[in-house]
Amino acid sequence: MAKVGLDSKFEQRSGLRWLWVAMIVFMVDYLSKIIIMGTMAANGEKPIAVLPFMNLYYVHNTGAAFSFLSTEGGWQRWLFGFIAVVVCGFLSYQMRQASITKTAHNIGCALIIGGALGNLFDRVHYGFVIDFLDFYYKNHHFAIFNIADVAICCGAILYLLSSINSPRSVPK
């Protein structure tokens, strides 16, 4: 019976214990951007081929995903920063409410939080986001990303999948 009590207490622990994933994402994103800034010129002449579908190409993105609102006068920096803070707060609250055993949900939230904080740091510190992962197929190039963006995309997929697969509570 003691084991059942321990399992029950473990399940009652908050999903916030998964925030270490967010910190790892933030640190890897930060370090990758430091390396890119130290070794490449922004909007350089030639991308560096890494894989048959990916180049390294360093750019400054003042907008959001796919350079959305990048041509605006700078106010978007604060809008996207505010959105990042709100999203991180909302997801942290959801993690606090979730059991530690809701692994996919908590890791999804943590990946999004880590990525959002990585891009928020760039916006506040530099005034733009550092992007450098140029994915392509043949001559068709996708948007240029960074580690934070990849974490946000993977986190969103996990979050959605965990939402679809979780049982709905039925009102009484």
Tens-digit pLDDT profile for residues 96-152: 988 888 889 999 999 999 999 999 999 889 988 999 999 999 888 888 899 999 999
Residue identified by tokens 């990585």 is 118
Q: Give catalytic status of residue 131 as yes or no.
A: yes
Task: Please give the model's pTM, rounded to 2 decimal places.
Answer: 0.81
Average of per-residue pLDDT values in the chain: 83
Q: Which residues face 136 on adjacent strands?
A: 141
Query: 30 or 7: whose pLDDT is higher?
Result: 30
Q: Are 110 and 15 within 8 A, CB to CB? A: no
7 noted as active-site residue: no
pLDDT at position 69 over 60 = no
Which pLDDT score is estimated for 75? 60
Mean local confidence (pLDDT), 15-43: 93
Instruction: State the pLDDT at residue 139.
Output: 87
Question: Band of the pLDDT at 63, cuts 50, 70, 90?
Answer: low
Bridge partners (DSSP) of residue 56 are 48, 133
Which of 29, 122, 134, 149 is catalytic? The answer is 149
Q: Let me know: does 94 contact 86? Beta carbons within 8 Å.
A: no
Q: Where are the beta strands (DSSP E) in 62-139?
A: 129-137
Q: What is the dihedral of CA 146, 104, 117, 20, to 10 degrees?
A: -110
3-class state of residue 172 by DSSP: coil
Which listed residue (29, 122, 131, 134) is catalytic?
131
